[in-house]
Amino acid sequence: MTDAVIDLSSMRPRALLALYSQILTELIRRRIVWSRNAPAGDYAELLVAEAFGGRLAKGSEKSWDVRVGNELLQVKCRVVDPSSKRTQTFSPFRSFAFDRCVFVLVDSVSYRVTRAIQVDRDLVEGRASLSAWVAGSRLTVRNVLAMTEGVDVTEALQRAQDEVDVRGRRADRDQ
């Protein structure tokens, strides 16, 4: 496979949006993602499942994303733009019915995993702050990077990225 170099500057807005849509269709076709939302969330769940030999939750499951044996993992991904000075926050927790959470940071240009940290539920619940606006509890990227109790799983997820690039998806969906 080759990495095409494409000149986007000559394309009209709607052509850019159509190409964006075509990319999602291709990623869905290969089961790298399964929704037409921004792809980082699904992709991070896949990487966690591939890295730990887990199974992806069924679409109806709201409180966890990947099952590894009897352990239920929540996955939270944030695409990080290193040039941005704004506070970066993970999507809200609306349930803590999981065993661990894997926080995944992805570089906004290369989509390389730059950091992945696995944290026990109690710690996540204790550190998250309630937001009435979104009816959930939130953690910033800074909060998570300060959790020295977490387990660094960056290398395992980077290896999964390389494997998925070479041989595609293997992880199954939960029964």
Which of 71, 81, 125, 152 binds a copy of itself (CB under 8 A)? It is: 81
Per the listing, tokens 């940290």 go with: 117
**Which of these ranges, 18-26, 65-73, 96-104, 143-151, lies near a copy of itself under the rule CB under 8 A?**
18-26
Taking the complex as a whole, the smallest distance from the CB of residue 93 to a copy of itself amounts, in Å, to: 12
Task: With H, G, I as helix, E, B as strand and everything else as coil, classify residue 24.
Answer: helix
Tell me which residue of 84, 71, 146 sits closest to 115, measured CA to CA: 146
Residues 82-141 close enough to bind a copy of itself by CB under 8 A: 94, 108-112, 132-136
Please tell me whether residue 63 binds a copy of itself under the rule CB under 8 A.
Answer: no
Choosing from 56, 124, 161, 171, the residue that interacts with a copy of itself (CB under 8 A) is: 161
- Is residue 167 at the binding interface for a copy of itself, with CB under 8 A as the rule? no
Pattern of binders to a copy of itself over 25-44, x per CB under 8 A? Answer: xxx--x-x---xxxxx--x-
140 closest CA partner among 73, 82, 86: 86
- Distance between CA atoms of 80 and 106, rounded to whole angstroms? 6
* Residue 67: CB minimum distance to a copy of itself, A: 22
Distance of alpha carbon 153 from the chain centroid:
13
- CA–CA distances in Å: residue 122 to residues 91, 99, 100, 145, 146: 18, 9, 9, 16, 16
Q: Calculate the CA dihedral of residues 117, 118, 124, 128 and round it to 10 degrees.
A: 20
Closer CB to a copy of itself, 19 or 146, in the complex: 19
Residue 40 or residue 123: which is nearer to a copy of itself going by CB? Answer: 40
Select 29 or 70, whichever has its Cβ closest to a copy of itself: 29
Is residue 104 a contact partner of residue 116, using CB atoms and an 8 Å limit? yes
List residues binding a copy of itself (CB under 8 A): 1-4, 6-27, 30, 32, 36-40, 43, 62, 79, 81, 94, 108-112, 132-136, 161, 164-166, 168
